[in-house]
Chains A and B, each alone.
Chain A
């Protein structure tokens, strides 16, 4: 057989016309991923994208891989079925803030705690895009939308906190304006064995334009994005003049490096098994208007669900031999009628 030819973006791009609104942040995520897939050494036929319902959930149609555009909120469950049936496949879940955290919150947390080996990309635009602009579980309190003319009353979720609370083994955040950062995070998430949760701040320019401008616009990034690097003190700012340290309550707080000295800063340890510090970091910014952690907050190892399923099957076959239907039917006492 001939050496497989190196794949390109084209190999991961389907023939379907992309139908997001012009200017939507979803495009840049799609491009980032399609460009990166060839570098992962995966094959389109061994890759499955599973999504729920929402603008973001149209994603699988545009990937030249296997794909299921399922029903609202349930993508993690469909993907769990694919992964349990076929641990050999490379499985991705695409969901939105409404899909993954409102109607599908239950499936998301259970997929995370089970540690199913797939990568979950949660497109957080803090709005219901497809249904034309109602507030979502990540919308800031007081948000005025069609369904909340006097401001929304619901306190929002912090998706990263939710994921850490749900026992996720890999939790990261990125945003749609930085292709390199997205690709780096996606690559790490893909390498991770187990459920990898990635929150992507994604701009919906039609119904929630500029939701992340406070932190992601080019002029704000240096002061507002806290890029986490494993093993390094948590620092940010154009001159690296700011840092994060844990106060006496274990809360993460922003400090001036000049005031406290480098040694007082939190050294980021994504592999720390206890989730307390990662959780504290996830609380650094209540809303994406103040310094916000970006990158990998947590990456720990735990056996994957499908590997455990497989090992129980293997053990059963080793102990009892492959199933024998005749013996099964005859189990538990038989008698003969002449």
Chain B
């Protein structure tokens, strides 16, 4: 084929674009989104992604409930969110169109797989008439493309039966969008070669569909010009693309290496945390022991047992599992052993929204145990930051001999972004020594081992592991006598121990960085304070507000317990404080109670992250209000 068209169609340059792939859960939209993300990352764009899929593995095909989507935001500058609204929607069927239409701003483009817009599918999606044929989509630029039939046509000769061939239509869509945004498809071809090496028919069909989609864009006259999003000017260094769950798993592995301790990771499968188990179980050569326990209680118990025996005990779960682990967490607090509990938050209560994101476990992490049972909390704010959060969690757990809760959420877990990953040589050494010596001198001159003698600065107790001669000791959940650790019910001793445990956790504040405030003009009257994954939307909102000449300050908390020592000053310095959260105001409760400031909440509990525009509007309202 002589390619005259492409030459005449010079790409139009965009700074950024938000594309949403939407189809039935069986249509392979997550796969397409992942591939598009990978080629965009390799191309050098900055990007952020937002997968969104139903909890059911196969909700009824063709229905709204069965729609699965993947949004990717690519840009030639450093971006922080997966984009508020899509510029382009790829709708593989009527339900995908219907479910996503409300999110499209007027003027957005829609590529619709016309083959799927037939009577039955229209009915299942609740359309009386074909929206491609009436004026439902008048506000949009619609590109009708018969993807299914063209895929079937293109895959003839690959040996794929027509029904199977249809399943390659997601690759057709991928090919087409790759052309539209001038993505090189070589990386996708290599991926197909590797992924389907063992299944020639599927391999050939997917490859043929990919190429057909790409060529269709090139030759069909329906698209004016392709677009180009230039590589982003990111800080120099070596990058890779990473999702939150993988980053978290890598952070744990790094913590194992940097503490010189084997990891004992036990967990029970639960969305959206299971991928951490999947990832870690691949890396046994790092000495990582992974165990799929019989339930979440067993999982945390195994991890605590491992910690007692001298390993880095870790467990991860989501809300329902955190509920189950509460009692064992209390024990770990009482035993004063290092432990990491990762909570990949999802919508609650109860089973709630298993595949959707929420931040409503902060107070659970903070207070969800009986008795006075404080523990440190670290929250990740972006997919790649999950690495740092896991590492920091491990550092605190080991140094202070305490369970630490690391909070991430479904959006961070499954979302991905380019990551300027750390130089291994620069990672801190977080190892702590095991105690091998007797530590208490009796009046008669004899020496003993006391398991609850504390380090003067950290208040941590010694970590003496089985196998160490002479240091045999028994510890349990019953209140212990200060020092000896012997069972003790004395009122004054209990009061002392409760205070000591609280002081130990509070004292960690001296060992964490102050919260950083971003207030470029220095004259902002409003501070937007966030934690966790709202970071991106807050940052993007602040950029917009500032681009319009207004002032706003932002700050993000990584440490939620204890708070950084300067937080009181920071929130007290601003006339107004806004705290956006994907819950009904949990951090704002803590901040108000702790610092007596009139912090305002902006809440959203839809299973979806904030849009920058939602926060921007609230900021403007508060500045002007």
Query: Which of A's residues lie within 8 Å of B, judged by CB?
Result: 14, 16, 43-50, 60-61, 63-71, 74, 77-86, 88-89, 106-107, 110, 309, 312-313, 315-317, 319-323, 325-326, 328-330, 332-338
Contact = CB atoms under 8 A, between A and B. Distances in A.
Interface string B308-348: 11110100000000000001100100010000000000000
Contacts of A337: 44, 231, 233-239, 420
A334 B309 contact: no
A86 B309 contact: yes
Contact of A89 (B239, B303, B309): B309
A45 B471 contact: yes
Given A66-B473, A107-B298, A309-B289, A81 B306 contact: yes
A193 B202 CA distance: 48
A110 B298 contact: yes
B253 A325 contact: yes
Interface stretch (B151-159, B220-228, B462-470, B521-529): B462-470
A54 to B, nearest CB: 12
Interface stretch (B25-33, B475-483, B512-520, B550-558): B475-483
A112 to B, nearest CB: 11
A335 B239 contact: yes
B239 A78 contact: no
Interface in B385-434: 420-422, 424, 427
B309 A81 contact: yes
8 contacts: A45-B472, A61-B487, A84-B305, A85-B289, A317-B287, A322-B287, A328-B283, A332-B240
B296 to A, nearest CB: 10
B298 A333 contact: no
A330 B238 contact: yes
Contacts of A336: 236-239
Contacts of A106: 294-295, 298
Interface centre among A43, A50, A64, A335 (most CB of B within 10 A): A335
Given A14-B474, A325-B424, A81 B301 contact: yes
B294 A69 contact: no
Contacts, number: 214
Nearest to B305: A81
Contact of A71 (B241, B254, B257, B477): B477
A325 B254 contact: yes
Nearest to A11: B472
A172 to B, nearest CB: 24
Contacts of A312: 284
Contacts of B236: 336-338
Contacts of B295: 106
A323 B287 contact: yes
B285 interface: yes
Contacts of B380: none
Given A64-B472, A78-B302, 5 more contacts: A45-B467, A74-B297, A74-B328, A89-B466, A325-B253
A142 B341 CA distance: 44
Contact of B466 (A48, A309, A328): A48
B317 to A, nearest CB: 15
B50 to A, nearest CB: 20
A319 B302 CA distance: 27
B54 interface: no
Contacts of A83: 305
A82 B238 contact: no
A194 to B, nearest CB: 17
Nearest to B258: A325
A55 to B, nearest CB: 13
Interface centre among A60, A77, A83 (most CB of B within 10 A): A77
B304 interface: yes
B474 A80 contact: no
A106 to B, nearest CB: 6
Contacts of A325: 253-254, 257, 286, 424, 427
Given A16-B487, A316-B285, A329-B424, A70 B306 contact: no
A150 B73 CA distance: 68
A316 B284 contact: yes
B145 interface: no
Contacts of B335: 68
Interface centre among A49, A110, A313, A319 (most CB of B within 10 A): A313
B97 interface: no
B327 A67 contact: no
Contacts of A79: 305
B182 interface: no
B571 interface: no
B250 A86 contact: no
Nearest to A109: B294
